[in-house]
Amino acid sequence: MRIGVFICHCGLNIAGVLDVEALEEYAKNLPDVAYAKSIKYACSDSGLKEMADAIKEHDLDRVVIACCSPKLHEHTFRNLLKECGLNPFMLAIANVREQCSWVHSGVEANLKARDLIRMAVARAKNLKPLETVRIPVKKPVLVIGGGVAGITASLILANFTKVYLVEKSPTIGGHMALLNEVFPTNDCSICILAPKMSEVWKNPNVEVITNAEVKEVRGFVGNFRVKIVKHPRFVDEEKCKGCIEFCSDVCPIYVSKEMRKAIFLPIPQAIPLCALIDAEHCIGCMLCVEACPENAIDFEQREEEIEVEVGAIIVATGFKVSSSGSEGVITLMQLERLLSASGPTKGRLVVNGKTPKRIAFVLCAGSRDRNEKPYCSRVCCLATLKNALTIKRRYPNAEIWIFYIDMRAYYEELYERVQSMGVKFVRAKVAKIEGNRIFFENTLSGEVRSEEFDLIVLATPMEGNSELSEVLGIATDENGFFMPAHPKLRPVETNVRGIFLAGTASGPMDVKESVESAGLASSKALEIVLSDYVESEPFYSFINEEKCIGCGICVESCDFKAIRINERKKAEINPSACAGCGVCVASCPKNAIDMNYFSESAVIAEIDALAEEKNSDPLILMFACKYCAYSALDLAGVMKVKYPANVRTVMVPCSGRVRPEWIVHALKRGIDGVIVAGCRLGECHFGKGNFRARNRVEALRELLGDEAFRVKAVWRSAGEVEIAKDIEEFVEEVRRWKEALR
C-alpha cells in the first residue's frame, strides 16, 4: 500500500492560515504514506500535472488530497486518478478549507488539519477499487413548469428529443403571461411570450400536460419513473373553443378576489384555449351546460394518472407571490394585471370603481427583513419604476410616491426618466399601513409622519416554490428556493444527478436571466439524454448472505423498493434501484449489509485515527449527511461564520446511515461527544432516513442515562449556517461536563 498525500495552498485561502509545510512533514510520517507534497493550486492544470507526475514516479496506489470541500472538486481529482491509471475511487479528501482554514485560526486550526489528514489517510487504507455502472438512458426529458423558463427549455430540447411539459396551472405562460410590460424595452409581455406559448403547444416533440402535478419521482439519472396526476377541468379541451361568453355570462358565481366567474378562461391568450370550472366555487347549477354551444362541459371528468419514463428532469416551477391585505392595498403582480390590456379591467387602473389619484409604492414589503424574508428579490425596484412610468404616461396628473430603503435599479436611465416625470422618491422605513394610510420615518431627514393614498402597491418578495422538494429529493435553501449544487460553478445542477433547475425555481431573477438559465439547464439535460448510457457511480449496498437471517427489516427500511427477500429467504439488493443512502445498513440487526464505497471498516478506521491524537479538548466527532448538514458546514465556511475548532466531521451519505455502534465506539475510544447532523426532519433526500436516525439517537440517549448529553442530533438544511451555533452550544455543554469531572 502506497498512499500519496497532497496539501493544497489554495493561494492564501489555506496557506494563509495553515502551515502547509508543517502539515506536509506530518503527513510524511503517517503509516503507509509513501509520499507527501504541498501544491500551490491542486485544481489548476499545473497542480494536476504535478500530482500526476508524483503518482506515476512514486507508484502511488491511493491518494489523499487536503484541499477544499469534496463537494467542489472531488470529480476533478477522480478524473486525475483515472488518467494516471488508478481506480478513480481510491481517493480521500480532507476538507481543510471550508471546514478548517475559513472558520478557525492559529494553533487550533493547524491541529484540526492534522486530524483531518490523519483521518483521510485511515479512510484511504480501507478503500476498495470500484467500477462505474453503465446504464442505458431513456431519451425523453420532463420539464416541470410552463413559465418562460419551462417553455424555453422545452423548445430547445424538442429539437433533439421528446419532451413532457407539465404545468400545474390550467394554462402555460407562468407569471410572465400575467405581466403588462417587461423592462427595459417596455415590450408588451404577452405579445412576445404568446408566440413561444403557441410554438411549444404545436411542437410535435412536446407533450404539454396542463392542470397537472408531479406526484412521484422514482429511479435515477437516465432512468426516472414519474407519476403525473392531471386534474379535471370539467371542460373538454378538444370541444371547447375558448369563446367563454356563453358559459361565463350565465354563471351566477363571481369570485371577487380573482375578478372572474366560477367558469373562466385563465387569460385571453390561454394555451390550451380552454375554459375550466373552479370546483371550489361551482354550485352545480348546470347553466353553463345549457349555454355551451359546443357541448364542451363535462362534469364526469375525473383525475387522470399518467406515468412517464425520462432520462432527465428540468425543474422550472417558478416562484410564489404574496397576497395583499385589502382592496386599497395590492401587490405589484396585481397591479400588472390591472395595467394589462388583457387583464380584468382591460388596462384601466380602477380601484373601488375609481381611478386613484394618489398612489404609493412600498418597496421591500416583507423582504430584506430578518423577521420575514431576509433577501432581496432583485427585480422589485425595476418593476416599480416600470409601472410608475406606465401610470404616469396614462394618467399624467397622478401623484406617485415611491418609498424605498435602497434603490437597486441597474437600468440607471429608467430611474432618471421616472424621476424627471415628477415621481416622488422617499427614502423611508415604512412602520405600518392602516387602511390607506402609510406611517413612515424619512431616513434622510429623520422626520416621522404619515400620508394617505388612494392606492398602495406593495413590492412583495418572490417566495420560494419548493413544494416538490420531497418528491424530487432536491435540497432547498433557508428561503425555500431549490438549491443549486454550487451557486457559481454549477448554477443549474442539483444534489440529485440528472435533475436541473431553470428560472426562478432557484431564486429571484428577471426574464432574461430565466431564459439564460433555461438554456444552460437544457444543455445539461441533453448531455445525458443524447448519450447511449450514463455512468452511474457504484454507490450501493450489498448483502452478506452468510449473516443474513431474512428478517425483512431492511426491506421495510428501504424507501426505494431496492430490496426483496429472495427464494432462499435472504435479502437481495438491486444495485440499479439502490439510492446509496445506507439506511438499510444501519437497520440490519445482524450487520449483514455493508456498502461498497462507505464501508464499516473505513468509518471505524476514521474514528480510531481521530482517537489516536486528542488534539482538542473537548474532542467532538460529527457525522454530517452529505446533502444538507455537510453543505451547511461548507456554507458556514464560505460565509466565514466561526465556530469552535473542537469538531471533526465525517461526511455520511445520509444521517440514517449512522449506526449507534459507531457512536458507542467513538465514546469508548475517548471522544468526548458525538453529533449526528442531517437534513431538516421531513426533508430527507432518502425518504425517512433522518427520522430513523432521530429514533436511533433518542434510543441511544436513553441507554446513556446521565451522559445522554454527550450525543446530540441536529437537523439543518443546506442553507442554515445556524449549524455553527449548534456546534458552539454542544461544545460548551461537553466542556462544562469535563471541567466538572476534574
For residue 498, with 0-12 CB atoms within 10 Å meaning exposed, 13-18 middle and 19 or more buried, which class applies?
Answer: buried
Evaluate whether residue 435 is within a structural domain: yes
Which contacts qualify for 688-692: CB closer than 8 Å, 24 or more apart? 688/559, 688/656, 689/559, 689/581, 689/583, 689/625, 689/654, 689/655, 689/656, 689/657, 690/625, 690/654, 690/655, 690/656, 690/715, 692/557, 692/583, 692/586, 692/587, 692/656
Evaluate whether residue 601 is within a structural domain: no
CATH of the domain at 245: 3.50.50.60
Same structural domain, 557 and 507 = no
Percent of the chain with pLDDT over 70: 99
Evaluate whether residue 258 is within a structural domain: yes
How many Å apart are CA 504 and CA 484, to the nearest integer? 12
Same structural domain, 92 and 218 = no
Q: Which of 506, 529, 552 is the last residue of a domain?
A: 529
Same structural domain, 198 and 227 = yes
Q: How confident is the model at residue 445 (pLDDT cuts 50, 70, 90)?
A: very high
The pLDDT value recorded for residue 308 is 98
Q: What is the mean pLDDT of residues 682-697?
A: 87
How many Å apart are CA 661 and CA 654, to the nearest integer? 16
pLDDT, the chain, mean = 93
Q: Which of 409, 426, 461 is the last residue of a domain?
A: 461
Same structural domain, 185 and 303 = yes
Q: What are the backbone dihedrals phi and psi of residue 437, each rounded to the nearest 5 degrees, phi first?
A: -110, 135
Which uninterrupted H or E stretch holds 427? strand 424-434
Same structural domain, 122 and 147 = no
| 33-42, 285-294, 558-567, 587-596: least confident range | 558-567
Q: How confident is the model at residue 476 (pLDDT cuts 50, 70, 90)?
A: confident
Same structural domain, 404 and 339 = yes
Same structural domain, 429 and 501 = no
Same structural domain, 334 and 386 = yes
Evaluate whether residue 548 is within a structural domain: yes
Please tell me the total count of domains within the chain.
Answer: 5
Same structural domain, 274 and 156 = yes
CA distances from 23 to 7, 44, 65, 99, 613 (A): 8, 21, 12, 16, 15
Q: What is the mean pLDDT of residues 21-47?
A: 96
The DSSP 8-state label assigned to residue 687 in this structure reads: S
Q: What is the pLDDT of residues 6-30, one digit of tens each?
A: 999 999 999 999 999 999 999 999 9
What is the Cα 311 distance to its own chain's centre? 20
Evaluate whether residue 408 is within a structural domain: yes
Percent of the chain with pLDDT over 90: 81
> The domain containing residue 513 runs over which residues?
141-317+481-529
Q: Nearest CA to 402 among 432, 434, 380?
A: 380
Evaluate whether residue 361 is within a structural domain: yes
Q: What is the pLDDT of residues 380-408, one digit of tens each?
A: 999 999 999 999 999 999 999 999 999 98
CA distances from 679 to 143, 471, 628, 684, 688 (A): 26, 15, 5, 5, 10
Q: What is the mean pLDDT of residues 86-107?
A: 96
pLDDT at 159 over 70: yes
Same structural domain, 275 and 329 = no
Point out which residues pair with 329 in neighbouring strands. Answer: 326, 456
Residue with cell 434501484: 577
Evaluate whether residue 50 is within a structural domain: yes
C-alpha cell recorded at residue 710: 454527550
Q: Which of 131, 162, 185 is the last residue of a domain?
A: 131
CA atoms within 13 A on the CB side of 263: 31
Neighbours of 394 (CB within 10 A): 13
Q: Nearest CA to 562 among 221, 223, 218, 310?
A: 218
The pLDDT value recorded for residue 207 is 98
How many Å apart are CA 1 and CA 81, to the nearest integer? 16
CATH of the domain at 8: 3.40.50
Evaluate whether residue 468 is within a structural domain: no
Same structural domain, 558 and 436 = no
Same structural domain, 311 and 331 = no
Which amino acid does the sequence have at 483? M
- 587-605 residues labelled b (16+ CB within 10 A) or e (exposed): bbeeebbbbbbbbbebbbb
How many Å apart are CA 570 and CA 564, to the nearest integer? 8
